[in-house]
Structure formats: C-alpha cells, structure tokens
Amino acid sequence: MLKVFLAEDEFVVREGIKNNIDWAGHGYEFVGEAADGELALPLIARLKPDIVITDIKMPFMDGLELSRLIKKEFPWIEIIILSGYAEFDYAKEAISIGVAHYLTKPINGNELLAQIDGLKKRIEDKKRERALKEKYIAEMAENSIEDKRRLFRHMVSGDLSLPELLELARSLDTDISAGQYNVVLFQMISSHHTSTEYSGSVVSLYEKVEEAAANEGALIFDRNLEGKAFVLRADSPEDIEAARERLTGQISELLSGYEHVRYYGGIGLPVGRLTGLPESFRQASHAYAHRFFTEKNGFRIFEDSRTEADETEESFSLSSIDPDKISRSRIIGFLRTGQKDEISYFMDELIGNIGENAMKAATFRQYLATEVYFSVSAFAEEIGAERNEIETFDPVSGEIRDKESALDYFTRIMSKAIELRDAGVSNRYLSVIDEVKRYIDENYGDEELSLNKIAGHVNFSPNHLSMVFSAQTGMTFIKYLTDYRMNKAKELLRCTNKRGSDISYEVGYKDPHYFSYLFKRTQGMTPTQYRERS
C-alpha cells in the first residue's frame, strides 16, 4: 500500500483532502500531515512516504523549497504541487525540480486521485528497481571489501598522487577527508580454533569491534588473515587522541571476558595530512610486530625513543645477552604467521629487546646470524622443505660486515622461508578450492548458496575462504558464483525454449525480476535480447 503525506497551511483544505477521500479503499495509506514545509520535512524523513502533496504557498518554508529538499534527500518520492496560481514561472520551476504534477486549485477528490493513480505504476517500478539494486549491493559486498582493501593499500603505500587517491575513494563512495589521521592495526585469534577453522565467536566479536570503530567515525578495512585496519579521523590532535583512547578502551572492555580470544593492536602516531598515512602505517606496523614478543593482550603505541649506548665492539660481551630475548622459538613463531613486509619490524623489535648497540659488535652479528639461519633451517624442515632451499650461511665469509648487511641477510633468508611456507599452503589450498568449485557445480541452483554456506562445508571461516579463493582464482567468490550462474543461464537461453522465469529458478534466482536485473547488469543486455541475438 503506497503512503501519502500532505503539507497544506489551510486547515479546511487539509481536512478536506485527508477526510473526504477514501484513501484505504483506493489502495493508499494517509500517513501524515503538516501545516508548513518546515514542519513537514522531519516528518517526511521519518515516515518515508511514496507521494507528497504540498501547497505552493506556505509560511516558514514554501512548497517549492520543500520539494527541492525532498528531491535532494529522497529522490524516489513523487511530488504533487497544489497552487492557487496558474503562473507559468511557478510551473516551470516545479518541473525543473522534478515535481510530478502541478495542479491549480480548486481541485476535487476524484481529480486528485486520478493524478495519484497515474503515478502508481511509476512509483512501484521505482521501488522494485531500488529493492533490486539494494539486493545487488548486498550480494556483491565481497567485491566491495576487496575494493576497499585496494584503497587501503594505496592509502598507506603512497603510490598514488593525492588527486588519484581522492578520486579512487570517491569511486568507492568513501569519504577519506579529515584534519587528523591515526592508523590502528588489530587482530583477534581464538585459541579454540586453527587459522583455517570456522570460529563463530571470533566473527561475532569482530562485528562488535567494527561497530565500536564505526561509532568513532573510523574507516574500517579488512586485511585478510592479518586482521583489521582502522583509520581514525578527527579535526584536531586532541580529538584524535580522545577517539583512540575511547576505541581501545571499548575493545579491551568488550574482549575482557573471552579468555580463549587473544587480541593485539599496533598504533601509529597521528598525522595531520592524508599523505602522512604511510608513516603512521609504518609506525603502527612496527608496534604491531611486538605481538611476537608478548603473550599479553592489549594495544601498543609506537615509540621511537631508543638511544644508542656508549659501548664499543671491544667492550661488548655475549655474556651480557639474555638468550630468551632472541630464542629460536620466537623467530620460528614469526615465520609461522608473519608476513614478508613485517620482517624489518620484527627484526627491529628483536634487536631493540637486546639493545641497539649490540649490532655494532661483529661477534654479536655473527651470533645472531647463526641463530636466524638455524631457526630458518628448522622451520624449513617443519614445513617439509629442504634445507638447501634456504640460502647457505658461512659465519666466517665476511658477508655480515655491519648492521645493514646483517639485516639484508636476515630479510633474504626469512623472505625465502615465508615464500616456501606460502607456496606449500597454496598447494594445500588447491584441493579446498577444487572442492568449492565442485560444490558450486552441484548446487548452483540453490538460492541459499553463499560464501558462508560453502565456508561451513569446507570448515573455513568466511573471511579466510574469501581470501584463499581470491588468491587462488584471481576473482572473488561471489564473482565466480555469479559468472557461473550467468554462463549456465546463457547456455539455457541459447539451447532451449524455456521461459526466462524457469531459467531464473534453475540457475538459483527465485525472483525473475532480480535475475533479469543481474543479467542486464553483468551482460549488458536483457535475457530476451541475448536470446534474440544468439
């Protein structure tokens, strides 16, 4: 039933339109009234009518201004203007605003109903189109997540100019403007599940964490298995610090009762411009890498306060080093879950735990290189790789000449270990992806088929399966499923005389209107046009 709202300052006219027309009997619901445009606007925003009838001359806000604001905020609402003036200029302005009808007073109920009835089909078509569009946007949310990941990568890499970055954000309907920015990297892991297993509790908690971040106006980005990134925005340094304190406090309080959930966050320093985000991200990544050196939950803010000591190579002694701070288990732990772009941050944290001055001593550099080499070798064996696949190491070769050459060596062999790890994982995932494709082939006609449903079938979290599927196939799960169904539909359109509604049902769309909308959106033509061309 379509909803009608009336804005009219003359009480008699308003009562006559409201009470002398059998709205319900003609298939309409009279939802509200107001004596002027200023009072009408908030009611229209709340009641969301399909049709607004308004007088042109009203106090405080006239009908033309009200119509202009309605079309700006609610473009789908149809407007009928009533006026005691027949001047062409009024009608011309009403048409330019997008008003459906401009009617001169006096007008009886039957005439008004006839005009409203004439709008009915147009309104219903618009509502159906809007519903189809909303359904499409909801179904394609996975593509949107991938697009936002790409936006975040560009924001923190600095590889786009400011105009290019702003244009990309606009294309994704994302406002990235602010006076201050602060990057927070965050991850949660359940001790009850492996990284590949579905953890409903963690998924639910992530939703609550994202809600807290959204309430602070943060931009929220998914980082696959690396967790989430929040870009806090505010007008001043004081506001950004207050928002950060509120967010971290809310998250800590929210997760305090979940002993099986480990969480950690790294926080960069605030920056006053968009082009400073790469530096805030670098700092947040540095603080985030500290998670490999602690078992505690919490957040760490980047600190660049370490100072060089006065010790020299001659005064340095290995006996002053605490072996627990550079244990092989820490290095192997990083190789199991860390990423290549985190190696430098991890090594900075490792060396920082010992003292920056230690790297001045050749004896310590050789000692640390040996520890890293044997840690990498042990990890290679753990993942089924051959030790000779890792770069060989000769502690007396003289390659480790200074801190820079040592860090370069660490980066090379640890990167190789992570590449071998990811290659092995990728090979193991091939069978999972094959199972997903087989499941789609056998169940594409099921309207309830979704990423969540298949993730449960292969015992993955939806987020993890989405990441793995994209990495292995080069497209998102929803795009693969949609393309598969569209190809099946095209085959049926070419090779059978089945009706479009039957084909829609057969390929997994119970709503033929949505099937036609999706087909045209993805193929550039309607199913009927495709059949005719074929």
Looking at 299, 330, 345, the residue that finishes a domain is 299
The 3-state secondary structure of 3-57 reads EEEEECCCHHHHHHHHHCCCCHHHCEEEEEEECCHHHHHHHHHHHCCCEEEEECC
CATH number where 172 lies: 3.30.70.270
Structure tokens at 29: 């619901």
Is residue 287 domain-shared with residue 178, that is, in the same domain?
A: yes
Prior bond of 59 cis (ω within 30°): no
Is residue 398 domain-shared with residue 530, that is, in the same domain?
A: no
Is residue 135 domain-shared with residue 183, that is, in the same domain?
A: no
Given the structure tokens 């070798």, which residue do they identify?
377
Would you say residue 438 lies in a domain?
no
Burial class (CB in 10 A: 0-12, 13-18, 19+), 493: buried
Is residue 61 domain-shared with residue 10, that is, in the same domain?
A: yes
Is residue 75 domain-shared with residue 99, that is, in the same domain?
A: yes
Per the DSSP assignment, residues forming a β-bridge with 300 are 266
Is residue 283 domain-shared with residue 224, that is, in the same domain?
A: yes
Would you say residue 150 lies in a domain?
no
Structure tokens at 345: 């941050």
Would you say residue 147 lies in a domain?
no
Burial class (CB in 10 A: 0-12, 13-18, 19+), 514: middle
Neighbours of 257 (CB within 10 A): 7
Please, how many CA atoms are within 13 Å of residue 138, restricted to the half-sphere of its CB?
Answer: 8
CA–CA separation, 276 and 280 (whole Å):
7
Would you say residue 244 lies in a domain?
yes
Note the pLDDT of residue 477: 92
CATH number where 515 lies: 1.10.10.60
Would you say residue 311 lies in a domain?
no
Note the pLDDT of residue 125: 84
CA–CA separation, 152 and 130 (whole Å):
29
Number of domains the chain is built from: 4
CATH number where 11 lies: 3.40.50.2300
Would you say residue 434 lies in a domain?
no
Tell me which H or E stretch contains 82.
Answer: strand 78-83
Looking at 241, 272, 299, the residue that finishes a domain is 299
Given the structure tokens 């602690």, which residue do they identify?
294
Please, how many CA atoms are within 13 Å of residue 37, restricted to the half-sphere of its CB?
Answer: 18
Interior CA angle at 79 toward 77 and 85, to 5°? 165
Is residue 172 domain-shared with residue 117, that is, in the same domain?
A: no
Please, how many CA atoms are within 13 Å of residue 77, restricted to the half-sphere of its CB?
Answer: 28
Note the pLDDT of residue 316: 55
- pLDDT tens over the chain, length 534 residues: 899 999 998 898 888 999 988 999 998 999 999 999 999 999 999 999 999 999 888 888 888 899 999 998 899 899 998 887 666 677 778 888 888 888 888 888 888 889 888 888 888 888 888 888 888 887 887 778 888 889 999 999 999 999 999 999 998 889 999 999 999 999 988 775 444 344 557 778 888 999 999 999 999 998 877 789 999 999 999 999 999 999 999 999 999 988 888 999 999 999 999 999 999 999 999 999 999 888 899 999 998 644 444 444 445 565 666 666 678 888 999 999 899 999 999 998 888 767 667 788 888 888 888 889 889 999 988 988 877 777 766 655 556 788 888 889 899 999 999 999 888 887 888 889 999 999 999 999 999 999 889 988 998 878 788 888 988 888 889 999 999 999 999 999 999 999 999 999 999 999 999 999 999 999 999 999 999 987
Neighbours of 308 (CB within 10 A): 9
Is residue 171 domain-shared with residue 283, that is, in the same domain?
A: yes
CA–CA separation, 292 and 132 (whole Å):
47
Cα Rg of the chain, angstroms: 32
Q: What is the pTM of this model?
A: 0.64
From residue 344, alpha-carbon distances to 29, 131, 300, 333, 411 in Å are 65, 49, 17, 15, 7
Is residue 368 domain-shared with residue 279, that is, in the same domain?
A: no
Strands (E), 361-405: none
DSSP state of 496: -
Give the 3-state secondary structure of residue 196.
coil
Would you say residue 13 lies in a domain?
yes
Give the 3-state secondary structure of residue 203.
helix
Residues 6 or more apart in contact with residue 222 via CB below 8 angstroms: 145, 148, 149, 228, 463
Note the pLDDT of residue 84: 76
Would you say residue 354 lies in a domain?
yes
Is residue 114 domain-shared with residue 18, that is, in the same domain?
A: yes
Is residue 378 domain-shared with residue 292, that is, in the same domain?
A: no
Residue 290's domain comprises 155-299
From residue 526, alpha-carbon distances to 2, 30, 129, 486, 488 in Å are 29, 37, 15, 12, 15
Residues 6 or more apart in contact with residue 148 via CB below 8 angstroms: 172, 174, 221, 222
Q: Where are the alpha helices (DSSP H) in 34-140?
A: 37-47, 63-73, 88-97, 109-139
Is residue 28 domain-shared with residue 125, that is, in the same domain?
A: yes
